[in-house]
Amino acid sequence: MKSQTVTLFALVFAAVGLAHDHHHEDQIPLNYVKYPYQAMYPGDDEVTADSIFSGITTFAKLPWVQCLGKDRDTTFDIAFIGAPFDTGTSYRPGARFGPAGIRTGSRRLTLYGGYNVPLEVNPFLSGLKIVDCGDIPVTPYDNKYAIQQIEGGHKELLHRPAFSPLGKDALTGKPLVPISVDGKNHPRIVTLGGDHTIVLPLLRSIHSAYGPISVIHFDSHLDTWKPSVFGGAPSDQAAINHGTYFYWASQEGLIKNGSSIHGAIRTTLSGPADYANDDASGFQRIEAREIDTIGTDGIIEKIRKTVGDRPVYLSIDIDSIDPAFAPATGTPETGGWSTRELRTILRGLDGLHIVSADIVEVAPAYDTNAELTTMAAADVLFEVISVMAKTPLGKVAN
């Protein structure tokens, strides 16, 4: 009996020891998928609508990879990364909670499967490795340092090699070569803001791989204001905010002037000088009200004519959508586009070389109980990654 008791205690202590030997990073949730090519997204004619609300909340239930931590050597083709920064806003704060809100709004994104009917693609089953990298650690106390953190985090992801090779051109069968200025095959980064100030460090990062970039900017505001006009620039750091970042990006040579364009503009101005300054910053404009005369097809045509076949960065302020559909934002403006109209316009970008993208100014505290704004933001990004999945960042060598 004594021998049996000793044996039992030994087994118990051994089990306890094994439990304490486990490392937290090795303990993963049930049904957690580490790599996207193992992801359990339903394919054609497979089971859908099965407990999509359960599990850890990542964007569209993508695998969570600690890209800036223990998984810093992991490669991918498209990575979602949060930039929870909102201390550059001029009206309502709260966009620091945007990344978490957008992920929550994306939970039902693949409820019935991830196949995008108009674009005829399922980005999640397209063969690309798509991950959610969590958030860049951003200080709320020092804007200068926070902007450095955002640039550094984004650049660290951008300069990893893409997981998938570029392959061959669909028309000629010839090998594709990267469109980047450094000749490398970079992954795409989709950033969840955060107020729009974050785009200055993001464009600095993009410039390191692509040089001056064409920008498609959906927003109700110009965001090219001179610091002396927007906020008055009481200090050097205050001069960089969510209304001036494109001014600084232009001054720094980050934007390819003449081939960049705003869409959904409907802001009030200090006067005509604001438009003159916008022209000098290298942007063309599509006013929100133009949708009543030229429709979504006309808007798509103007965008494509402006950017051509150049590499392009896509920045989407959720306030480009009318607050009737997306009320949870820092500086809402009535008279905007509907969620359906913006999604249609985004699908019209099919075939463009979108090198990376962001969605910003989602402030969940002002949302409805139905999560209208965060759902809209998630659906907009679904269109973006669908376009990305169809067009590799390569060209046929001359």
Per the annotation, binding residues for Mn(2+) are 196, 219, 221, 223, 317, 319
Go through the chain and tell me how many residues it has.
398
Cβ(201)–Cβ(148) under 8 Å? yes
From the list 321, 333, 195, the residue with the least C-alpha distance to 267 is: 333
Amino acid residing at 253: G
Cβ(202)–Cβ(358) under 8 Å? yes
Q: Which residues contact 194 (CB under 8 A, 6 or more apart)?
A: 82, 83, 84, 85, 86, 95, 96, 98, 99, 150, 358, 360, 361
Instruction: Provide the H-helix boundaries in 87-240.
Output: 98-105, 143-158, 199-210
The token pair that represents 12 in the structure block: 């118990």
Q: If you search the block for the tokens 């650690």, which residue do you land on?
A: 137
Q: Extract the annotated binding site.
A: 196, 219, 221, 223, 317, 319
Which parts of 219-289 are beta strand (E)? Answer: 260-265, 283-287
Q: How many whole angstroms separate alpha carbon 135 and alpha carbon 97?
A: 11
From the list 340, 322, 223, the residue with the least C-alpha distance to 274 is: 223
Q: How many whole angstroms separate alpha carbon 237 and alpha carbon 351?
A: 38
Q: Compute the half-sphere exposure of residue 37: CA atoms within 13 Å on the CB side of its CA.
A: 8
Number of other CB atoms surrounding residue 308 within 10 Å? 10
Cis peptide before 263 (omega within 30 of 0): no
Cβ(56)–Cβ(64) under 8 Å? yes
Q: How many whole angstroms separate alpha carbon 1 and alpha carbon 40?
A: 51
Q: How many whole angstroms separate alpha carbon 200 and alpha carbon 225?
A: 14
Which parts of the chain are beta strand (E)? Answer: 78-83, 130-135, 176-178, 188-193, 214-218, 260-265, 283-287, 312-317, 354-360, 394-396
